[in-house]
Structure 1
Amino acid sequence: MAHHIVLEKLCSCARKQRVEQIRTFESREEAEEHAYEWADALNNNFCGKHGFDIVEVDDNFVISVEEGGFVEACEI
């Protein structure tokens, strides 16, 4: 069974860097580990004006943009 990580919304920073929106893994553990690493990388490599967080949905992981983090420098 495949497990997915989905980047819920692509901010302008992610679009500029052509970040993919879905990644697929064979194991849930691998997907979970990668989801947290990916969210951390997004938090550290983009404008810093908003944050990304992990939400578990069934056996998949959604990386969402944290509320209150929307600014003109990095629009959703």
Structure 2
Amino acid sequence: MFTVQVEKECGCFKRSEIEKEKTFDKREDAISYSRAIAEIMNEDFCKKHHFTARASAGDEFMISVGEGSGGGCCGGGHCG
């Protein structure tokens, strides 16, 4: 099993319907999903954070969050 997780939940993520963790039988499916979700989050969220899909340890893939182009914070409580 391969797992895709969102590293930190910003306010936009909490308000979305995206799952924090999802598992897949195939590595390729996990890679495709993590890249697609990161792209959706970058396009649809408030632009105060930037999301990146990356391989983590073993069979895990992480969608990490960093500062985006809009500056400030969306109020998710994870920036402080």
Counting aligned pairs with the same residue, the percent is: 31
Instruction: After superposition, give the CA deviation of every residue in 1:2-57 in whole Å (9 maximum; x if it has no partner).
Output: 10000001101111224321011110011001110010001011001211012211
Q: State the partner residue of 1:21.
A: 20
Residue correspondences, number = 74
The amino acid across from 1:42 in the alignment is: M
The two structures, once aligned, show a CA RMSD in angstroms of: 1.7
TM-score normalised to the size of structure 2?
0.80
Q: State the partner residue of 2:29.
A: 30
Q: State the partner residue of 1:59.
A: 59
TM-score normalised to the size of structure 1?
0.83
Structure 2 unaligned segments of length 5 or more: list them: none
